[in-house]
A = this chain, B = another copy of it.
Amino acid sequence: MQNTAILLINCPDRKGLVATVSGMLYERGANIIHADQHQDHEAGLFFMRVEWALDGFDVNVFRRQFAPVAAELRMEWRLELSSTVTRMAIFVSQYLHCYADLLYRHKAGELDCEIPLIISNHPGARALAEFHGIPFHQIEIGADGKTGAERRQIELLEGHGIDLIVLARYMQILSSDFVSRFPNRIINVHHSFLPAFVGAKPYHRAFERGVKLIGSTSHYVTEVLDDGPIIEQDVTRISHRDQLEDLIEKGRDLERVVLSRAVRWRLAHRILSYGSKTVVFD
């Protein structure tokens, strides 16, 4: 695979942004592979993602020269290199379908990342971690409460240089303190079509309400429960013939797909979030 750089920009909209960025890249001989931009006219914001090949391109020089331009244009920006592999931790509890799916996809080469760490409050996930040769840490909430458990989790995450945390049906609510340490770095899957059925037991509530479609949502975690920017959603049709357990079973397939898409897009640096929304460049 080719070495590439990816520039992600989020800034107030104004004339000439595309011309400025593409001009700078062209002058330095960049061979652009993908480029996409988006304007939120209502919010007056501009978003851009450009990816180019690095052969013969000095990315450090570009970074230095781009910084003052970006500052002048009030850009939030980051420059990612495809050669820097994301380090991802998975958190899981007793339901293993999303977890097993992520591990399988990783092994099959679908997820371009390293997984140095699996953390669970249950023992059930250990066997698969061992099969895949990934260190498994069982951290239960002990005498020192959730604070103590989170302290040990944070030590592990920081010790392993983790860039991305994926909650693969992890059934503990993370504290605000934990969440605020990892902004836009925690992806969760919720087993409903958010904002319908925020909170616990969404399938039960969907069943009681008599909906004709069930859904699943992957989103960044923020300090407000189930309220972070939505990355992906999908639904499946159900009918009166589906009992509660059918909803749960059909929902598992949705959860897998919706979570793995979000992870894949995050690893390809295709998501920009702002307010309660995301731009997902495809």
Contacts and interface: CB of A to CB of B under 8 A. Distances in A.
Nearest to A275: B210
A42 B243 contact: yes
B18 A30 contact: no
Q: Give the secondary structure class of A's interface.
A: mixed
A76 interface: no
- Contact-residue size bin, chain A (C-beta under 8 Å from the other chain): 35 or more
Interface string A182-203: 0000000000011111000000
B15 A29 contact: yes
A141 B100 CA distance: 33
Contact of A210 (B29, B196, B229): B229
A32 to B, nearest CB: 7
A64 interface: no
A100 B110 contact: no
B197 A211 contact: no
B39 A33 contact: yes
Contact of A193 (B15, B32, B213, B231): B213
Given A193-B213, A210-B229, 7 more contacts: A19-B22, A195-B197, A195-B209, A209-B277, A210-B278, A212-B230, A241-B282
